[in-house]
A and B are shown apart, each in its own frame.
Chain A
Amino acid sequence: MRKPPAWRGPGLVLVALAAIFAVAPRLYSNESVLFTMMTFMALAQGLNLLYGFTGYLPFGYVGFFGTGAYATSLLVTFTSLPVIAAVLLGGLAAVVVGLILGPLFRLSGPYFSIANLAASQIIYNVVANEALKPITGGPYGIKIEHVYAPTASYVTMLAILLAATALAAYFRRSRFGLGLRAMHQDPISASLAGVDIVRERLIAWLASAAIAGLAGGAYAWNLSVFYPEAVFTLQISVFAIVFALFGGVGTVIGPLLGAALLYAFYAGIGVSAPQYFELLYGLLIVLLVLFLPNGLASLLTRRNVDVL
């Protein structure tokens, strides 16, 4: 029997994602829910690129998101670039910040996570600093209302989600991703086997930063009037981490499923029974930690199903 081509599974996931989010606004007119769901799916997938494949957990992942949001907004404010180009450059700005923070990889485990968290807060405090009011708007926020375009920003976020998913599929199926996973298991053995640990880890880190930066840019475009707290709130990091863990990191569909299900649950409770929100959400996470520590994807892998 012929083995199916390697791209078929990822291709199907990408087509399904594109189809679902292209059709969804016709069935459900609250586009903000769909947009925010895609944002968290992209962020969970971006975080998965780093945490799922290298084991480095960036608590301050929101720093890249906020960087992308502000870089995009500033480019829109001070240049005549098209918004799409500004979003792409927002992703690039996050990559530059990622390069500057590269030395954080001298740390590992919780030390890396805490240092990353501190770095994100430093970026936040710089952006929100009053001395930078003429440039970033400081604590008074930023306004790019003149380019507000919910549909265009929705399509852009969908493209970013597809790009993040394609990258995760590449990480999952390629020799490069195999090297990352080997490094995750045992860095010394991987190094002895010829894996360039520093280079590969940095690539994963920058790819992860780029996704967050791009998502931040599209998010800023969709919000268009916001204060620094809106794009640097730690809630964004927490949600991205919880969603990715819920679905199962190190896979392609895990973070997508985790973010889609948990966010839908979050939005649903928020509308129908907000008084029970904290209770139900907390309960769900406790159950997850107790019974599915490796996420939803582990339900299949336990049964020897090859999960993408």
Chain B
Amino acid sequence: MRTHLKRAWTACAAGLLASGLALSAAAAQTAPSEIKIGTLYASSGPFAVASEGQYHGLQYWAAGVNKSGGVFVKAFNKKIPVKIVAYDDQSSTATATTLYNQLITQDHVDILMADFGSVLTSVAIPLAAEHHMLLIDPTGSGANFFTKKTNYLADVSIPSSTVWPLPLAHFILAQKIKRVAIVYGSNDFDASQAETLKATLEKGGVKPVYYHGVPTTESNYTVLLHTIAAHNPEAVIELGYAPNDIAFLHALAGSGLHFNMTFTIFPGQLLALMEKNVGAKTLAYTYTYPTPPLVAYPKTTLGPNTAAFVKEFTAAEKAAPNFLDAAGFNTGLIMQQMLATAPKFTQLDFHQALMDMSGKTTTLLGEFKINSHGAQMGELPPVAQLVPAGKGVTPVVVYPQDKATGKAIYPAPKK
């Protein structure tokens, strides 16, 4: 009897061992030889500069992980190299549609990542959902995208346009500024911010004295500035793309007008470009949202902190990174952590892994926090003032208090 039992146990153990070996062999067989990340970039057209920056950041991340043998994929319990499959959409939505489909249906990529910005991301959203693929959205922040619960969209490297200006609104209220003028580009990115800013200010008892949308192509703000001045505002907030900001600041410098506070978006993202185009004197004492690397996050739970990233990137690429390089790199980091924690190699598990990371992860761009609609609610940029430093200007974070590196010089001195 004992011998029979012993034999039975031995058989069971052998069976378990065999099935365990078989399972691990199956797992090893199904592990891909490379993780294919499909994305688009624009080498020409209106989104080229920004898109290439984001793509460059992603390439830098991929080169880094491949140097160390690839990304760790929990589902296969091993490191697997990353391969980026990328096509050029030339900033065209029609071309982007076919190329996103190409990535999904022909290249069978494992992870789908959108191109830069809301316009080129928009066409990928229904396609990704139709094919049950999670769309990793680095910089498409359109308010329209995040209107319902989804498992197939995650905005990872830029806050949703609807929450972006919250620190700015709170700063204006804290400074007790009562007369605010807001001029914004009539596009999703700027107008969503303008709406949030207006609503938050009004909630704090400040009704903007001027609130006006201009075409995205606006290039002459001279008349507009005099109209704004007639409303006697203390603060003038201009929300536009880089060309709008350049035109606005040029017009302000040439108009002889002075406001206690002037705010534009892009000096905080592309400071070198703005300095070159409008000059340090014009930028002096204006405010902006400083994005990494202009604002540093010293403590991270995932990847290098901002300073280390800048150092490593500059050494490897022989050029200092801008925000879009950081956004592309950050997207890579988030995908890396997603693969390292998703228990199964499925799109739904990828999405769940991101949700599990939400609120518990800090990267070089700040706190990663997405909601069930896929919108990024973290990574909020603080408010900074550009103060003269040598021949240029340097950002000094003035709000919120816990991130502040200096005090706002308010009202801004006359130049």
A230 & B93 in contact (Cβ 8 Å cutoff): yes
A270 & B93 in contact (Cβ 8 Å cutoff): no
Interface centre among B126, B130, B191 (most CB of A within 10 A): B126
B143 & A140 in contact (Cβ 8 Å cutoff): yes
Q: How far is the CA of A235 from the CA of B46 in the complex (A)?
A: 13
Given contacts A30-B106, A148-B130, A223-B123, is CB(A141)–CB(B99) below 8 Å?
A: no
B97 & A36 in contact (Cβ 8 Å cutoff): yes
B contact residues around A277 at 8 Å (CB) = 88, 90
Residue interface bits B101-142, CB-to-A below 8 A is 1, else 0: 110011000000000001100110111011000000000001
Q: Which residue of B is nearest A230, CB measured?
A: B93
B187 & A226 in contact (Cβ 8 Å cutoff): no
From the candidates A30, A129, A138, A224, name the one contacting B126 in the complex (CB within 8 A).
Answer: A224
B186 & A130 in contact (Cβ 8 Å cutoff): yes
Q: How far is the CA of A271 from the CA of B38 in the complex (A)?
A: 13
From the candidates B87, B100, B142, name the one contacting A140 in the complex (CB within 8 A).
Answer: B142
From the candidates A30, A31, A223, A274, name the one contacting B43 in the complex (CB within 8 A).
Answer: A274
Q: Does A292 sit within 8 A of B, measured CB to CB?
A: no
From the candidates A150, A227, A271, A275, name the one contacting B188 in the complex (CB within 8 A).
Answer: A227
B126 & A32 in contact (Cβ 8 Å cutoff): no
Q: Which residue of B is nearest A148, CB measured?
A: B126
Residue interface bits A263-277, CB-to-B below 8 A is 1, else 0: 000010011001101
B contact residues around A236 at 8 Å (CB) = 94
Given contacts A148-B126, A225-B125, is CB(A230)–CB(B88) below 8 Å?
A: no
A154 to chain B, nearest CB (A): 12
Q: How far is the CA of A128 from the CA of B130 in the complex (A)?
A: 28
Q: Does A304 sit within 8 A of B, measured CB to CB?
A: no
B97 & A32 in contact (Cβ 8 Å cutoff): yes
B93 & A143 in contact (Cβ 8 Å cutoff): no
Q: How far is the CA of A224 from the CA of B99 in the complex (A)?
A: 17
Q: How far is the CA of A111 from the CA of B144 in the complex (A)?
A: 39
Given contacts A32-B97, A139-B191, is CB(A274)–CB(B119) below 8 Å?
A: no
Q: Which residue of B is nearest A39, CB measured?
A: B94
A contact residues around B188 at 8 Å (CB) = 139-141, 227
Q: Give the number of chain A interface residues (Cβ < 8 Å).
A: 35
B contact residues around A113 at 8 Å (CB) = none
A contact residues around B43 at 8 Å (CB) = 274-275
Interface centre among A33, A36, A225, A236 (most CB of B within 10 A): A225
Q: Does A29 sit within 8 A of B, measured CB to CB?
A: yes
B99 & A226 in contact (Cβ 8 Å cutoff): no
B126 & A139 in contact (Cβ 8 Å cutoff): no
Q: How far is the CA of A223 from the CA of B142 in the complex (A)?
A: 16
A227 & B119 in contact (Cβ 8 Å cutoff): yes
B98 & A141 in contact (Cβ 8 Å cutoff): no
A230 & B98 in contact (Cβ 8 Å cutoff): no
B contact residues around A271 at 8 Å (CB) = 87, 99, 102
Q: How far is the CA of A277 from the CA of B89 in the complex (A)?
A: 11
B contact residues around A137 at 8 Å (CB) = 144
Q: How far is the CA of A72 from the CA of B100 in the complex (A)?
A: 24
Q: How large is the interface on B (under 10, 10 to 19, 20 to 34, 35 or more residues)?
A: 35 or more
B102 & A225 in contact (Cβ 8 Å cutoff): no
Q: Does B314 sit within 8 A of A, measured CB to CB?
A: no
Q: How far is the CA of A225 from the CA of B129 in the complex (A)?
A: 12
Q: How far is the CA of A304 from the CA of B118 in the complex (A)?
A: 52
B-side binding surface: helix, strand, loop or mixed? helix
A54 to chain B, nearest CB (A): 28
B102 & A33 in contact (Cβ 8 Å cutoff): yes
B contact residues around A33 at 8 Å (CB) = 98, 101-102
A141 & B127 in contact (Cβ 8 Å cutoff): no
Given contacts A30-B106, A145-B125, A145-B126, is CB(A235)–CB(B94) below 8 Å?
A: yes
A contact residues around B122 at 8 Å (CB) = 141, 225-227, 230
B contact residues around A32 at 8 Å (CB) = 97-98, 100-102, 127
Given contacts A139-B191, A140-B191, A225-B125, is CB(A270)–CB(B88) below 8 Å?
A: yes
Q: How far is the CA of A148 from the CA of B150 in the complex (A)?
A: 15
Q: Does B361 sit within 8 A of A, measured CB to CB?
A: no
Given contacts A225-B122, A225-B123, is CB(A139)–CB(B92) below 8 Å?
A: no
Q: Which residue of A is nearest B127, CB measured?
A: A32
Residue interface bits A203-216, CB-to-B below 8 A is 1, else 0: 00000000000000
Given contacts A29-B106, A140-B188, A271-B87, is CB(A150)–CB(B123) below 8 Å?
A: no
A230 & B123 in contact (Cβ 8 Å cutoff): yes
A contact residues around B191 at 8 Å (CB) = 130, 138-140
Q: Does A233 sit within 8 A of B, measured CB to CB?
A: yes
Q: Does B264 sit within 8 A of A, measured CB to CB?
A: no
B contact residues around A235 at 8 Å (CB) = 92, 94
Q: Which residue of B is nearest A235, CB measured?
A: B92
A contact residues around B87 at 8 Å (CB) = 270-271, 274
A30 & B88 in contact (Cβ 8 Å cutoff): no
Q: Does B401 sit within 8 A of A, measured CB to CB?
A: no
A30 & B101 in contact (Cβ 8 Å cutoff): yes
Q: How far is the CA of A280 from the CA of B192 in the complex (A)?
A: 40
Q: How far is the CA of A67 from the CA of B191 in the complex (A)?
A: 24
Q: Which residue of A is nearest B150, CB measured?
A: A145
Q: Which residue of B is nearest A142, CB measured?
A: B144
Given contacts A141-B144, A233-B92, A271-B99, is CB(A30)–CB(B123) below 8 Å?
A: no
Q: How far is the CA of A278 from the CA of B95 in the complex (A)?
A: 14
Known: A140-B144, A225-B125. 10 other contacts (CB 8 A): A30-B101, A36-B94, A139-B216, A150-B130, A223-B97, A225-B123, A270-B90, A270-B95, A274-B87, A277-B88
Q: Ordered nearest first, which 10 A-B pairs have the shortest CB separation?
A: A274-B88, A32-B101, A230-B93, A29-B105, A32-B98, A139-B186, A130-B186, A148-B126, A224-B126, A140-B188
Selected A-B contacts with CB under 8 Å, 14 pairs:
A30-B105, A32-B98, A141-B188, A145-B126, A223-B123, A225-B145, A226-B123, A229-B93, A230-B93, A230-B94, A271-B87, A271-B99, A275-B43, A278-B44
